[in-house]
Amino acid sequence: MAEKNLEEKEIAVKNNFIHQQIQNDLLEGKNGKRVHTRFPPEPNGYLHIGHAKSICLNFGIAEKFGGKCNLRFDDTNPSKEETEYVDSIMEDVRWLGFDWDERLYYASDYFEQLYEFAVKLIKTGKAYIDDQDSETISAQKGTPTRPGTESPFRNRSEEENLDLFERMKAGEFDEGSRVLRAKIDMASPNMHMRDPNIYRIMKTPHHRTGDKWLIYPMYDFAHGQSDFWEGITHSICTLEFEVHRPLYDWFVDQLLENEYRPRQIEFARLNLTYTVMSKRKLLKLVRDNHVNGWDDPRMPTITGLRRRGYTPESIRNFADRIGVTKVDGMIDVSLLEYSVREHLNKVAQRVMGVLNPLKVVITNYPEGLEEEMDAINNPEDESMGKRKVSFSKVLYIERDDFMEDPPRKFFRLAPGREVRLRYAYFITCNAVIKNDIGEITELRCTYDPASKGGNSPDGRKVKGTLHWVSVKHAVKSEVRLYDRLFNNEDPLAKEEVDFKEFMNKDSLKILPECYVEPFVKGAAPLTHFQFERLGYFNVDLDSSDSKPVFNRTVPLRDTWAKFKNK
């Protein structure tokens, strides 16, 4: 046991280079040996599984190193942000099992401080107002190999800059007519250091500050400063911000008063096969009704995965498993499915449900008799105990479990063949009833009363064990089967093709008439079940007593078995 723990620990450090770096910072005694991270979503959409990786990383670091993690909304762009998103983000972080306690912040909390900081930069000759439009400014930026050109407004006097900035704030100028820029280095090999914009005019009301502000700080200007003011020690972000790091450090240098200093560390974002992850693209799917909202169970959003039946544990295990690296890559979605299967296997109540019903009449079973069969609730967890399942003369089995003329390797029910009904009896098929157009409508079978419980009375063997429900007792339910939202591993790979072209038209299949054993009656939304032999299902949010609805979370088939012993 001790050995196993050691091994697990090694894996945990090995596949997470950020843990190693933090460990080193602690050994060096940096920042008074404090560890403080933050998760900084922009409230412009619902969170997706990629954000879950970042949440697990940031809050996980706080847990691992006895530190803290803040939740901070990066709400510097009022045109795209809404309180609906703020609320959903808080719900999702909590659902994943993390808590920011009283440390809930908004970049907008710092608007006043940021404004003052900008004024300070102007006064120290490190910022200026540029009257040029954005096209001109970007044309002057140069290229990575050719230095930029200085703006004709770069050397304005401090008084003029202060006056213009004040008037920008007062709303005297039109949007886009002026910006405040940091005065750094137009010849820097890093384009982000070529006098980046730090304030822009935007006359859009903000979800928190209303119409108080008519100028807003740029993300780069707000982010590091927010980190600084919150005492963040490790500011973890995705790789595309690596080139912003010198700018992050430059701003921190202007703020520095003591030894404390936040440090930006970048890691590779999560990409998953068969889906897209940018909020902008997900918003498009929602707006254009390609899916039924942000919480459509086919969406890679946390709210979608929750509705689909994923558990917080399975998502956290997935995040641990994939680790944290500096190398961009694509993770196979079946690894995520493996993680959910692994967890649900341990916790899900087993029941029997028939998705595609075929009626079976047991001709020698007494009319009107009902028996209660003992069934195991979860073979992985004895403490979950047993339940009774009602058996009677007329049953449903899965249509796929019968073949009139079976090939050699088909071991389920066929004319003249005997199989076991799980927990019940051995039955033999004697007759196949068809309708006018030759479709099978019913099977006539006999049972062996001596095989009660599904046990062989005399050592004779049957090859197949089928699930079933009693027609009289079963709960008629709707079942929704989900498949991948896209039929291409990387829907964004071909720039010239719109990613929506790759949408899988069969990603949702609704089965209106399924039958499930009565145990599921009254189960609350999001309750997990394993339908034996079929997969994991959960009660949908739309489900009601009069119309139960189940989502298939994931089928039983396990394509990632090789991970099991890792």
Contact residues: Mg ion, CB under 5 A = 42
| Pick 42 or 249: Cβ nearer Mg ion | 42
Among the options 42, 82, 313, 442, which is catalytic? 42
Q: Which is nearer to Mg ion, 17 or 219 (CB)?
A: 219
Tokens of 550: 């189940």
Can you tell me which of 186, 255, 277, 384 binds ligand ATP, judged by CB under 6 A?
A: 277
CB closest to ligand ATP, residue no: 50
Task: Select 225 or 317, whichever has its Cβ closest to Mg ion.
Answer: 225
Query: Which of 485, 490, 477, 560 lies closest to 308, judged by CA?
Result: 485
Residue of 16, 22, 25, 40 interacting with ligand ATP (CB under 6 A): 40
Q: Which does 279 bind (CB under 5 to 8 A by kind): Mg ion, ligand ATP, none?
A: ligand ATP
Whether residue 4 lies in the annotated active site: no
Nearer to ligand ATP, 85 or 423 (CB): 85
Six-digit token pair at 140? 């002057």
Distance in Å, CB of 270 to ligand ATP, minimum: 4
How far is it, in rounded angstroms, from Cα 424 to Cα 467?
10
Count of CB atoms within 10 A of residue 495's CB?
7
Residue appearing with tokens 């009449």: 361
Residue 54 binds: one of ligand ATP, Mg ion, none (C-beta under 5 to 8 A by kind): ligand ATP
Q: Which does 237 bind (CB under 5 to 8 A by kind): ligand ATP, Mg ion, none?
A: ligand ATP
Q: Closest by alpha carbon to 545, among 480, 479, 481, 475?
A: 475
Pairing of the two strands 68-73 and 104-106: parallel
* CB-CB contact of 307 with 551 (8 Å): yes
Q: Cα(550)–Cα(527) distance, rounded to whole angstroms?
A: 10
Which position has the token pair 């389920």? 412
321 belongs to the binding site for ligand ATP (CB under 6 A) = no
**Interacting residues of 441 by C-beta distance below 8 A, sequence separation 6+:** 359, 433, 434, 435
Q: Determine the interface stretch with ligand ATP among 125-133, 277-285, 483-491, 538-546 (rule: CB under 6 A).
A: 277-285
CB of 61 to ligand ATP, least distance (A): 13
277 binds, among Mg ion, ligand ATP, none (CB under 5 to 8 A by kind): ligand ATP
Q: How far apart are CA 196 and CA 181, in angstroms?
A: 5
Match 């710092």 to its residue by tokens: 110
Amino acid letter, residue 467: H
Binding to ligand ATP by CB under 6 A, coded x per residue (else -) over 366-405, reads ----------------------------------------
To ligand ATP, the closest distance from the beta carbon of 543 in angstroms equals 30
Q: 398 — phi, psi (to 5°)? A: -75, 130
399 annotated active-site: no
CB of 242 to Mg ion, least distance (A): 15
Q: Report how far residue 180's alpha carbon sits from residue 215's, in angstroms, rounded to the nearest whole number.
A: 10
Look up residue 306 and give its two tokens.
């929750």
| Binding of residue 270 to ligand ATP (CB under 6 A) | yes
- Of 103 and 269, CB closest to ligand ATP: 269
- Tally of residues, the chain: 566
Instruction: Choose between 24 and 278: whose C-beta lies nearer to ligand ATP.
Output: 278
206 binding partner (options ligand ATP, Mg ion, none; Cβ < 5 to 8 Å by kind): none
Please list every residue from 237 through 256 that binds ligand ATP, using CB under 6 A. Answer: 237-238
- Element spanning 249, H or E: helix 245-255
539 binds ligand ATP (CB under 6 A): no
- Is there binding between residue 278 and ligand ATP (CB under 6 A)? yes
Could you give the CA distance from residue 202 to residue 79 in angstroms, rounded to a whole number? Answer: 9
At position 311, the amino acid (one-letter code) is: T
Those residues whose C-beta lies under 8 Å from the C-beta of residue 105, and which sit 6 or more positions away, are 38, 70, 71, 72, 73, 226, 230
* Of positions 19, 25, 36, 41, contacts ligand ATP by CB under 6 A: 41
Contacted by 508, from Mg ion, ligand ATP, none: CB < 5 to 8 Å by type: none
Cα separation, 131 vs 135, in Å, equals: 12
Catalytic entry in 279, 308, 422, 552: 279
Q: Which member of 80, 207, 261, 269 binds ligand ATP (CB under 6 A)?
A: 269
Spot the catalytic one: 126, 269, 452, 484. Answer: 269
Between 72 and 298, whose beta carbon lies closer to ligand ATP? 72
Of ligand ATP, Mg ion, none, which one sits near residue 309, judging by CB under 5 to 8 A according to partner kind? none
Nearer to ligand ATP, 269 or 452 (CB): 269
Residues 154, 131: Cα–Cα separation, whole Å: 10
DSSP, residue by residue, 441-509: EEEEEEE-GGGGGG--SSS---S-EE-EEETTTPEEEEEEEE--SBSSS-TTS-TTS-GGGGB-TTSEE
Q: How far is the CB of 40 from Mg ion (least distance, A)?
A: 9
d(CA 27, CA 24) in angstroms, rounded, equals 5
- Which of ligand ATP, Mg ion, none is residue 41 near (CB under 5 to 8 Å by kind)? ligand ATP
Q: For the chain, how far is it from start to end, CA to CA, in angstroms?
A: 15
Query: Which positions from 42 through 61 interact with ligand ATP, judged by CB under 6 A?
Result: 42, 50-51, 53-54
Question: How many of the chain's residues bind ligand ATP (CB under 6 A)?
Answer: 14
Residue 302 binding partner per list Mg ion, ligand ATP, none, with a CB distance cut-off of 5 to 8 Å that depends on partner kind: none
Q: How far is the CB of 321 from ligand ATP (least distance, A)?
A: 15
Look up residue 324 and give its DSSP letter.
Answer: B
**What is the chain's Cα-based Rg?**
31
Q: Is 269 a catalytic residue?
A: yes
Catalytic site residues? 42, 269, 279
Which residues bind to ligand ATP, rule: CB under 6 A?
40-42, 50-51, 53-54, 237-238, 269-270, 277-279
